[in-house]
Each structure stands twice: as C-alpha cells, then as structure tokens.
Structure 1
Amino acid sequence: MTNKEIASALRQTGDLIELTGGNPYRANAFGRAARTIRGLEDAVTDLVQDDELTSVNGIGDGLSEQIQDLLQRGSFDLRDELLSAVPTGLLDVLKVKGLGTKKVRTLWQELGITSLDELDEAARADQVRSLSGFGKKTQENIIENVALLRAYSNRRRFADAIRAAREVHTVLTDGDAFDRVVFTGELRRKVETVQALDMVVATSDGADHVIQFLQEADDTAPFDPDTISVTTEVEDADALVETPLTSGLSLRLFVCTPDAFGTTLWRTTGSKDHVATYIREHGDPGMHATEAAIFEGAGVDVVPPELREDDGEWEAATDGHLPNLISVDDLQGTVHNHSTYSDGSHSLRQMAEKARSMGLSYFGICDHSQSLQVASGMKPDEVERQQDEIRSLNEEYAENTESPFRIFSGIESDILRDGSLDYDDEILASFDFIVASIHSGFNMTVNEATERIITAVENPYTSILGHPTGRLLLVREGYEIDHDRVIDACASNNVAIELNANPYRLDIDWRYIKRAIEKGVLISINPDAHAMIELENVRWGVEVARKGWLTAEHCLNAKSLDEFEAWLTARRPA
C-alpha cells in the first residue's frame, strides 16, 4: 500500500467522522495525519517495519495501530464502522466539486440524498437552493459538477493509470507465458488522462492461452478473471481480450502472433488520424514483426509514440526534422517549490537538499504570497526572514566548489483580480524571480481571464506564468483563455510559461506547447512541490512535454546554473 493510498483512507475517515456528526477534533486529527503521510519521503511500510511510525509528528499509538491494520487488511475498525453508518452512494456525493462534508451532511439529513442520481434529480427539481448555505448558484454548480464527475468517471490521470498498468504488466510478464507484453494506446502516447489500459500481447498460442492465463492468475492480481470478454474481429490482432481492473479501468489485451507484433503495436498506438494519414499516403503496411519496418517501408524516420497525434509528425519524419525530445536527465534545476514558510510539508533546507540529491544544480523556492491566506501566504517580514536563510544556505553551498548548487529566491505571486501582482514593487524587486499564478476568482469570461493574465505577464517583475488555466484534471475544468494571445504576450515580454508537472494539473496543456516554441517562449517544467517526494513529479511533466514537441533547448530549467542565472539577470527591471 502506497503512502498516497494510506493518506486517502485516513482523509476519507476524517470526512466520514464529520459526515456522521462525530468529534470535529478527531476528524481534524485524521486530516492532519493524511497530509503528513502524503508528504513523507519514507514509505510508511518501511517505518512500520522499523517500528518508527510513531516518531512521525502527529502519529500517536492509536493512529499507528489503525495504519498497521490498514496495511494488513486494507481497512481498520473505525473506518469500517463509519462506512457501515452511511449509504454507499454518499461517498460519490462527497466527490462533487464544491460540496464539503457539511453540505453533504445537510443534503443527506434534510433531503434524504444518498447518491449522485438523487442529488442531480433534487437540483434539477429546484429543491436544493432553499437549504441553508446553498442558494441558486450552488444548485446550478451542483448540476454542472455532477455532469463533469460522470464524464470523468471512466478515465484516470496518466500517473495513476501507469501505476495500475505496471501492476498488470508485472503479472503478465511473470514467467515466459508470452513472447512480449508492451503498453499501447493512450498509455503509450502518454495522454494526460486514460480511458483504458491497452497492451499488446504477442504469443503463438492464441487468445485461448491468454484467457487461461488470466483465469489462473493469482488471487491478488488486479483484474477480475471471472469477467472476461473476447472480440475476434480486431484489425491486425487475433483477438481483443478485455477484463475490468480493481482500479476501475478496463484492461484490453490485443493478442497477436510474434510476426504481426510490430503492425499491431503501431496500429493500436497511434491516434486514428495518425494511422489514417499513413494509410492514405503509403497504403496498408501489411504484417511486420517490428514497428521500425513500417516506417522504413515508407522511407521516413520512426515517429516517437508521444507524437503520433497527426499534428505534423509525418511531415517532420519525412523531412528528417523530428525533434530530439526532452528527457528528465536534461533538467538542471527546479524552480517552483514550496516549504514550511507557506503550505509546504518540509523546510527550505530539506527541500533544497532533496533537489541537490537528485543531481540538480539549482533550486527555486516559490512559497505563496500574502493574499493567499488559505495557503499561509508570506507576509513581508516572513519574506525577509526567508531571504536571510537563503543567503546563509548559499554561503554553505558556495564552499563546495566541486558541485555548484544555489537556491534562488522566488515567490508564487497571486495574480490579483485586476492583473496586478501581490506585494509592492520594493518587495517584488527583492526576489530573484517571480512565478505569477491565479488562485482565486475563476468565474471569468474568456476575455476577462485573458486580459487578467496579460496584465500580469506585462508586469516587468513577472518571470514565469504559472499553471495558466488553473485546471485540475478530472476534478475541475480550467478557466478559458485565449492561448494565442497569452503566448504572444509571453513572447513579447520574455516571460516563460510553466508546465506544472503535478499529475493533477499538467498545465499548460501539451497541445499549446508547440505554439509557444514557435513563438520563442521557454517552457519551465515545474513540480510545484509541497513536499520532498513531490520534487520527483517532474517526470510527469516531462512525459507530456514530449507530447508537445519540447526539446531541452526550449526548456527554461534545462539551462545550466550559469545560463539560468544569466537569463534572470538579463530580464530583471533596471
């Protein structure tokens, strides 16, 4: 069980305590424990094994026992009691954006709502707005957000999907039952949200062999061996074997012979338009054991799987102009991170040391600015105190001349409603760089949002535009902006655009990265890390950056320490 899964169970327990009218202090204790565990660098399983779990701040003997029960049997007594005390459908209602536990409790007690269907029906029947604390706007939002939740229910974020896929892959490749098992489809193209886990299975023994393997798999396998469907009319494959996973996704196995593996993998990887363009230009590729043979047959370079979206990749492959896509190893620094100065879980020193241990040569701290009080935004005196600590730490790092490392003083400044930045110019000028982001006031027209961002971009102190649309994948649609106008403004003002690598965001959308590159705008792959372990989120940003044709040349934090410092110096206001 991962730290994330443990934290989710504890957070749910806290919500259930509130939902059932339990002790609010107890509910808060579970919420705090969930946040602590989510931010731990060490695995909870290791801490339990070493008998060190109670050394974690906020984890006493009682919580420790409950977590150990959770690891042993997947739950604990209090959680089981609470789950038994509420209708199962209420857990789905809790997922509706904008409905906290207090509002869900009101809906349950006063309207008897226990499912998404009942909630949607009550809102459409105009029954919700009369409740205390709701109103017409809340009722309208409920209708909209229930629809969004249903639309999202059959998809998973890429990071979650890849973890689930690796579990399946481990089961399928345990032994020599099959010649090859390889990810395909949206998973292999690294689409930000995935509808199904697709894999190509090469075997000379046919689909029956695959079905038998699934049926005889260990009881701990993440799929249901009793619910298997088979489709035999599948192009370039002998059969499609499908079964649901415990994660809620569907597992789809395209079964083929080894000599048809390349064609099956190619056809199931590319988007429909990518495949159709090839066939229109070069005809049906026929059966091949390798993908490379298909591209060689057309006389073009092999297109990386991420680019197979029919967005100019065939022309680039024909002309020999495919980009040398960025990799995690290209990154030299990380420039949008948080610490305990605002809402982070670890100290400035701890965050910097983690970045240094990853082989990076610079670290940018960007705690929240004063207006974002919910995230403990820094007051001017706290800014001064943090900058004193940065200078002290940099003096330490300067003593190590063999491995240069530097902390840069940054801030994630709120873009206020009029487009201005938080703090006055004197304080803004004290930072090495500024990431400007919107965190509130999302209810804007396209023009309002665009003008608000452009005003911030035109501020001479803005260095990087943070998560441009504020989206949360499968949770919240971002506010709409005119991407072309925003990108043009960034180009005119030498402002980089963040690709926020948090797997819940991945914002800027990869579909606009290519446009930014064409305009000469640098992309900064930022983890937006609030804990040491989250610094590693850059890998998800790199995955989708590759879909946007990003190269190291066009990535801000792929610059060396000296180059990054020179970039900051060149664009500072006089």
Structure 2
Amino acid sequence: MTNEDIVELLDLSAKLMELHGGDPNKIKSYGTAAYYLDKFNERPFSEMTEAELVKLQGVGKSIAARIIEIVNTGTFPELQVLLETTPEGVLEMFRIKGIGVKKIQVIWKEMGIETVYELEQACLNGSVAKLKGFGGSTQQKILESIAFLKNQQGKVRMDKGAYLAGKLKEKLEQHFSSVAISGDVRRGAEIVDRISLLIGADSPVSVQRVLDGVEDLVKNEKESSPFIWRGILRDSSLPVDIRVVAPARLASELFLDSAGPDHLSRRAVDGTSLFQLVSRNNFETEETIYESAGLPFIVPEMREGIHEWSWSESRNANELVTWEDLRGILHNHSTYSDGRNTLKQMADYCRELGFEYLGIADHSQSAAYANGLTPERVSAQLSEIDFLNTQYATDGGRPFKILKGIESDILGDGSLDYTDDVLAGFDYVVASVHSNLTMTKSKAMERLLTAIANPFTTILGHPTGRLLLSRAGYEVDHKVIIDACAAHNVVLEINASPWRLDLDWRWIQYCMEKGVLLSINPDAHETAGYHDMRYGVTVGRKGGLTKASTFNALSLTEIEAWLDNRKRQLMI
C-alpha cells in the first residue's frame, strides 16, 4: 500500500461515516488525518511503527492503528462494514461533480436512489430540482457531470496508459523477443482507451497459447482470433489488443497501428496512400517508409493527420523539443502553500536532476484551501530564496538559482491576487483560475483577457482548468486567448500534470504561428512531480512544439534576461 492508497482509504472512510450519519468527531478525525497525511512524503507509512505514526500531524492512536491495519490487510473492519452497507451505485456518486456527501445522503435516503442511472432519470424528470437545497441549477450540473463520466468510461489518462502498456510489455518480453507498444500510447494520446501491442513471431498459434497463460490478462474469446488476442487487463476495464505479425512485417505494422486514419491517407509521390504503400511492402524502419513515399519523416506523436504536413513544410523532426532541451522547471509548489516538500528540498532535487533553475510558484492568498501565502508569508519566502541562492552561488557547483514566482489566482473580475507592490516583488507571475469554474464562455473570456492584459502576468496557467476524465474545462475561444497572449507578450503554459495537459496540444501550432512562447510546467506539489514534465514534452511534440518556442528551454542567463527585459517594459 502506497501513502496515496492509505490517504485515499482514510478520506473514503470519513465520507462514508458522514454518509451514514456517524460520530462527527470521528468523521473530523479521519478527514483531518487524510488532509495532513496527504502532505507527508518523507517516508512510506508502511515502514513506520505505530509510535512513529502518532507523531505525525493529525494522527492519533486510533488513526495510527487503522493505518497499521491497512498496511497489513489492505483495509480495516469499520471501513469494510461501511462499504458492505453502501450500495455500489451510491459509491459511484462520489465521482459526480456538483454534489457532496450531504446531497448524496439526501438522494439515497430520501429519494431511495441507489444507482447513477436512477439519479440521471430523476434529474431528467425534474424530481431532483424539487429537493430542498438542490434546485434546477444543481440538477443540471449533475446531468452534465453524469454525461461527462459516461463518456470517459473505459479510458485512462496518458500516465496510467503508458504505465500499464509498459508493465504488460515487460511481461510479454519474458516470452517473446520482439514486442512493441503501438496505438494510443505510442502516439502520445492524452486519453488512452485501448492498450495495443505487437508481437513479431512466425507461429500465431504458439503465441496465443502463451498469452492465454499470462497473468493479469482476461481473454475475450468472441473477439479474439488466431492473429489477434483481445481482452482486458484483470482488475481493469481497459481493452487490450495484442497482434501477432510476421517478424519481417513488424516495422510496417507498427507504423500502421500507430498512425491515425487521416495520416495514413496522405498520398506518396506516386499517388498511392501511405496505408497502401505500407500494406503492400515490408520496411525495416519507419524512416524508410517516408523516404520511399517521398515525404518528410513525422514522429509517432504527430501522426494524427491534423497539422503535421503543413508543419513539416518549414520545420523538421530534429527541431522538436525534448526532455534534454529543458533547462529549468517553472510552476512548482512547496510547503509554503500546499506542497509536500520544503522549498530547499524542491530546489535541491531540481538541481540534482541537472536543471539550472527552479521557478517556485506557490498559491496566492485567495487560495485559502491551498494555504495561500499572505503578503507577510510572501516576504518570508522571498527572504529564504535569497538565502538559498547565496548558498547555491558560493558552493562551487554548476550554476543554479531559484526564481521568485507566484501562482496568482485570477479573481472573479479578472484582476490578480495581491496589490501591484506585492506583485512587483516577483520575478514572474503564473496567473491561473481556480474558483468559479462553471462560468459562461463570455464570462470566462472576459476574466482571462483581463488577466492577460495585466502587466504583471507572465504566464497564463492551465488556461481551461480541465481535469482529464474528471472535469471538462470552462469553454474559451482559444484563438482569441492566444492572440491576446501574443499582443501582451504572455507565455502560455502546457501544464504537464497528466490530470491536465492544458493547453491542449491541438493549439500549439497556432501559438507558434503567433510567436507565443510555451512553458512546459509540471505544477509539481512534490519533488516526484518534476517527472510529469515528460508528459508535457510528449504532448508538446504531438503539437509540433520546437525547442525555439519553449520558454523553459532558455538557459538561466537567457531567462533572467528575458524576465528583466519584460520588467523594464513595465516601467516604461
């Protein structure tokens, strides 16, 4: 059990206790423990004794005992009783945006509704709107959230898709010498609805026998054939396709299985489509496919048939941004706000990874839910940054610096958190929306455009506020937003968290056409979060992002000069 697993079970316990009308003090105890333990990552709870656990903030003897039970058994008796007495459909309601535990309790206890389907029907016939404390607005939000969740069933985010595909590949490589990940994962899709792999082998029947015995694979006999194994991963609804191809066809089939239909319809110089060319011929590498077609090489991530061909008219694959091109990490959080690691820990690990600068951007004062910084605490953090930077400058190592940033909430009227004199003390400002997310398009646009026009806004953070597979973003006119960023010299963020990946990659090319720089930011709340940058790089490449258009590909000297120049312009 990971720390995250344990925190999730404690939080679920608090919700279920509240749902069943449990002891308020006990509910608070579990909720408080989950809140504080979520910020702790110095050691695995599974390695700690009960005596060590009770020393942690928010943990008493009772909670410590529950953690020990969870580590040993995966659960504890009281949670099991709560789960057994809660209909599965009611548990699913916790995923619905717009209703909390108290409203779910009313839906279940007063209306007798025990499934999401029944809740949807009750909303459609207007029954939910009549409940005290609900109304038409809440009813509509429930319907919209249910529709969104239904559309996301059987899908996973990029990070989980890549992880599952990688683990399955490792298992298969114990039996086969040629295994390749294809499909959504290889193409860098932000949402994966199928794990696809290819096996190069001469005997499909022999491969099928082995696959039928692989742990964690559940075969769908009806949909499988001698040449393709279809089924799901055990304990997952995610479909899996494993195709068996002749070894001489592996490169060709990998190409066909990893490109979108519109990409494959592109005509070669002889008039045949890429699909026809590759279907009829065996190629040793994907590079030779494009050479034979008389077309520029396109990396797997870009093979969508959307804009890669127009992109390739003036650029080539070698210009695409890579992990190695990144020189610094911007938009990160520390224990000053809602992060899990101290400022020094965040900086030291950033430096250990070989980066030249860390941009700290803790939450601003209006984000009370995230322990946002008051002006007094801003001053304390800036002083600590000065102190640490002095140490880094004199220790004889490679150049490294902490840049002074803030993630300033964009308030309801589009203004930024803090007064101008406080904002002026930062090297840069990431302006982001965190509240009132159910805006109309016109309200969202007014709010964002006002923030972009603010002279202190350096980077527009996660511009649509989406959470993949969980929450649709507020509607915006991307072209207008990008045009405004171009006009005001504002950088756009590609939030690399696999939950966000916002800005959407489909708008990257338009950003580059308008001269808008993009910053690949992890929004890291702990040191491990830095590695999410790889997902940002993937979607950046998918959208055609070049090193030249990547803000944090600038060296420390270059980015300091860029920020200083922008500040001087503010004073004109």
Is TM (by shorter chain) over 0.5?
yes
Q: Establish whether residue 257 from structure 1 lines up as the match of residue 246 from structure 2.
A: yes
- Say if 1:30 and 1:269 are closer, same or farther in 2 by CA, change over 3 A: farther
Deviation track 1:232-289 (CA, whole Å, cap 9, x = no partner) reads: 49xxxx3353334422211111221111112211111001111122575454322425
- Say if 1:520 and 1:284 are closer, same or farther in 2 by CA, change over 3 A: same
Q: 1-side partners of 2:7 and 2:221: how far apart?
A: 32
Partner of 1:159: 159
For residue 284 of structure 1, the aligned residue among 255, 261, 277 is 277
Deviation track 1:409-468 (CA, whole Å, cap 9, x = no partner) reads: 211111122222112211111111111111122333333322321221111111101111
Partner of 2:185: 187
- Say if 1:172 and 1:68 are closer, same or farther in 2 by CA, change over 3 A: farther
- Say if 1:318 and 1:97 are closer, same or farther in 2 by CA, change over 3 A: same
Deviation track 1:81-138 (CA, whole Å, cap 9, x = no partner) reads: 2211111111111111122222111211111111101111111121212323212110
- Say if 1:561 and 1:195 are closer, same or farther in 2 by CA, change over 3 A: same
SS of the residue 1:183 aligns to: strand
Q: 1-side partners of 2:495 and 2:368: how far apart?
A: 22
Q: Establish whether residue 224 from structure 1 lines up as the match of residue 218 from structure 2.
A: yes
CA contact (8 A) 2:327 2:556 kept: yes
- Say if 1:56 and 1:103 are closer, same or farther in 2 by CA, change over 3 A: same
Q: 2-side partners of 1:51 and 1:358: how far apart?
A: 35
Q: 2-side partners of 1:70 and 1:256: how far apart?
A: 45
CA shift for structure 1 position 472? 0.8
Partner of 1:111: 111
Stretches of structure 2 lacking an aligned partner (at least 5 in a row) = none
- Say if 1:540 and 1:23 are closer, same or farther in 2 by CA, change over 3 A: farther
Partner of 1:402: 397
Q: Which amino acid aligns with 2:251?
A: G
Partner of 2:433: 438
Q: Which amino acid aligns with 2:192?
A: V
Partner of 1:148: 148
CA shift for structure 1 position 391? 1.6
Q: Establish whether residue 331 from structure 1 lines up as the match of residue 320 from structure 2.
A: no
Deviation track 1:9-51 (CA, whole Å, cap 9, x = no partner) reads: 3332222222222234433444444455555545627735999
- Say if 1:16 and 1:228 are closer, same or farther in 2 by CA, change over 3 A: farther
- Say if 1:335 and 1:20 are closer, same or farther in 2 by CA, change over 3 A: same
Deviation track 1:285-324 (CA, whole Å, cap 9, x = no partner) reads: 2242534242232133432110101134345558773353
Residue correspondences, number: 563
State the TM-score, normalizing by the size of structure 2. 0.92
Partner of 1:538: 533
SS of the residue 2:129 aligns to: coil
Q: 2-side partners of 1:245 and 1:287: how far apart?
A: 37
Q: Which amino acid aligns with 1:192?
A: E
Q: 2-side partners of 1:335 and 1:112: how far apart?
A: 49
1:6-405 maps to which residues of 2 (within 5 A)? 6-36=6-36, 38-41=38-41, 44=44, 47=47, 56-59=56-59, 62-174=62-174, 177-206=175-204, 208-217=205-214, 221-225=215-219, 227-232=220-225, 238-278=227-267, 280-281=272-273, 283-285=276-278, 286-288=280-282, 290-292=284-286, 293-314=288-309, 321-405=316-400
Q: 2-side partners of 1:43 and 1:294: how far apart?
A: 50
Q: Which amino acid aligns with 2:11?
A: R
State the TM-score, normalizing by the size of structure 1. 0.91
- Say if 1:346 and 1:401 are closer, same or farther in 2 by CA, change over 3 A: same
CA contact (8 A) 1:342 1:367 kept: yes
Q: Which amino acid aligns with 2:254?
A: L
CA contact (8 A) 1:189 1:270 kept: yes
What root-mean-square deviation, in Å, do the aligned CA atoms of Structure 1 and Structure 2 show? 2.5
1:410-449 maps to which residues of 2 (within 5 A)? 410-449=405-444
CA shift for structure 1 position 147? 0.9
- The more displaced of 287-296 and 142-151 is 287-296
Q: Which amino acid aligns with 1:253?
A: I
Partner of 1:483: 478
Q: Establish whether residue 496 from structure 1 lines up as the match of residue 485 from structure 2.
A: no
CA contact (8 A) 1:458 1:489 kept: yes
SS of the residue 2:386 aligns to: helix
- Say if 1:442 and 1:320 are closer, same or farther in 2 by CA, change over 3 A: closer
Q: 1-side partners of 2:315 and 2:444: how far apart?
A: 39
- Say if 1:540 and 1:52 are closer, same or farther in 2 by CA, change over 3 A: farther
SS of the residue 1:542 aligns to: helix
Q: 2-side partners of 1:518 and 1:169: how far apart?
A: 39
Stretches of structure 1 lacking an aligned partner (at least 5 in a row) = none
Q: Which amino acid aligns with 2:21?
A: G
Deviation track 1:331-379 (CA, whole Å, cap 9, x = no partner) reads: 2211211222222223222222222222222112212222222222222
Q: Which amino acid aligns with 2:245?
A: C
CA shift for structure 1 position 77? 2.5
SS of the residue 1:503 aligns to: coil
- Say if 1:320 and 1:500 are closer, same or farther in 2 by CA, change over 3 A: closer
